[in-house]
């Protein structure tokens, strides 16, 4: 751990020049006393770091102390700088490793590429925390200890013991053969086998994990993309699926199809609307999807879904029946 911190300290001084002990402590997430001890260790190891005293003083490296990686061109460097997904790194417990790796890549670039690649990377934003409507993009939090244990078992090819809380069930310990890790829209999954059967576990539901010494029973090679596609297909075709007949405004067809599992039938109506038969994973999924479409969609069948949507609308309407004190009429443009 200290060796990694010393490398990061040198890289910070290389890229930013003179930095105060307080700034270094903040960047490295340690105390200023630890920074001073690290500076002494670097000096003793022959790294040309020196102190500048005064109000604007700090620590710096002698000019010219730099190594370069000459094999990267500008576009290759830019690709490395923007390719690392913060969300994927957070899900798998690799956030600090990603930051350290990017720091090293920038430092190793030839002088001619360093500034231009870094400036170009600042003009590309990947996976921001909110969308244009200021809605937060949820990233499920996975404790570093759990993510690290799972990750080590996957890479080492060892069996993994996990305490898993399936939806609506109490947590339970189980031993699995890990195959790989997948992240989708900030949600992490562990692909594994249990008693020879394919299993998929959400990482945020893994409450504890322990890498075992026993080798995992799994293929030597794996196509994770294909494995994920196969599991997705099985998930969408299994369970107690619900078939729903919907009358829909044509402009909202894309929104409905995006949330439904499949479209079984479709035909236009005389008034220009569409009549579709679509499937959903379960009753909750069907009710939620149609509620999002408000008056642009009408569930024609089954009857229990119409009743559920009617009840939801009635409850919402009752909330607004009584006027409450507040601002006057909505201003017009």
Give the chain's end-to-end CA distance (angstroms, integer).
Answer: 60
Helix (H, G, I), strand (E, B) or coil at 135: coil
Q: Which of 66-70, 92-96, 109-113, 199-203 has the lowest mean pLDDT?
A: 66-70
Q: At what angle do helices 21-28 and 2-16 cross, to 10 degrees?
A: 130
Q: Where are the domains of the chain?
A: 2-61, 144-237, 242-319
Quick: pLDDT tens for 130-172: 666 666 665 667 888 898 899 999 989 999 999 999 877 899 9
User: Which pLDDT value is given to residue 5?
Assistant: 79
Report the CATH fold assignment for 242-319: Alpha-Beta Plaits (3.30.70)
Alpha helices in 266-326 (DSSP H): 283-292, 303-319
Order the strands of the 274-280 sheet from edge to edge.
262-268, 274-280, 242-248, 297-301
Helix (H, G, I), strand (E, B) or coil at 223: coil
Instruction: Report whether pLDDT(329) > 50.
Output: yes
User: Which pLDDT value is given to residue 270?
Assistant: 93
Q: At what angle do helices 74-83 and 95-108 cross, to 10 degrees?
A: 170
pLDDT band at 295; cut points 50, 70, 90:
very high
State what percent of residues in the chain have pLDDT above 70. Answer: 72
Quick: pLDDT tens for 234-251: 776 666 688 999 999 999
Range 2-61 classified under CATH 2.60.40.10: no
pTM of the model: 0.54
What is the arithmetic mean of pLDDT over 45-52?
Answer: 83
Other Cβ atoms within 10 Å of 122 Cβ, number: 10
Strands (E), the chain: 49-52, 58-61, 158-164, 172-184, 187-194, 197-202, 206-215, 242-248, 262-268, 274-280, 297-301
Quick: pLDDT tens for 162-196: 999 987 789 999 999 999 998 887 788 999 999 98
CATH class, range 144-237: mainly beta
pLDDT band at 217; cut points 50, 70, 90:
very high
């Amino acid at each position: 751990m200290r060796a990694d911190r010393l490398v990061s300290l040198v890289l910070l001084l290389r890229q930013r020049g003179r930095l105060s002990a307080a700034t270094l402590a903040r960047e490295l997430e340690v105390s200023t006393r630890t920074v001073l001890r690290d500076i002494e260790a670097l000096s003793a190891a022959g790294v040309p770091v020196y102190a500048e005293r005064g109000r604007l003083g700090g620590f710096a490296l002698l000019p010219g102390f730099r190594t370069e990686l000459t094999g990267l061109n500008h576009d290759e460097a830019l690709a490395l700088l923007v390719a690392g997904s913060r969300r994927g790194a957070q899900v798998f417990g690799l956030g600090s490793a990603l930051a350290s790796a990017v720091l090293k890549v920038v430092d190793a670039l030839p002088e001619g590429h360093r500034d231009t690649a870094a400036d170009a990377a600042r003009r590309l934003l990947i996976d921001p925390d909110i969308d244009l409507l200021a809605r937060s993009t949820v990233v499920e939090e996975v404790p570093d200890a759990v993510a690290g244990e799972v990750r080590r078992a996957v890479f080492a090819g060892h069996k993994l013991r996990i305490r898993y809380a399936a939806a609506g069930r109490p947590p339970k310990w189980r031993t699995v053969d890990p195959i790989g890790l997948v992240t989708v829209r900030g949600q992490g999954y562990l692909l594994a086998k249990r008693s020879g059967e394919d299993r998929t576990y959400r990482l945020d539901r893994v409450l504890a994990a322990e890498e075992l010494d026993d080798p995992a029973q799994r293929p030597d090679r794996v196509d994770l993309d294909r494995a994920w596609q196969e599991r997705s297909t099985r998930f969408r075709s299994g369970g107690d699926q619900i078939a729903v007949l919907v009358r829909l405004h044509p402009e909202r067809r894309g929104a409905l199809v995006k949330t439904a599992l499949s479209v079984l039938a479709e035909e236009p109506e005389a008034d220009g609307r569409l009549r579709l038969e679509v499937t959903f994973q379960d009753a909750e999924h069907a009710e939620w999807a149609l509620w999002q479409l408000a008056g642009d969609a009408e569930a024609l069948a089954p009857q229990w879904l119409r009743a559920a949507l009617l009840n939801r609308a009635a409850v919402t309407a009752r909330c607004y029946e009584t006027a409450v004190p507040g601002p006057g009429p909505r201003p017009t443009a």
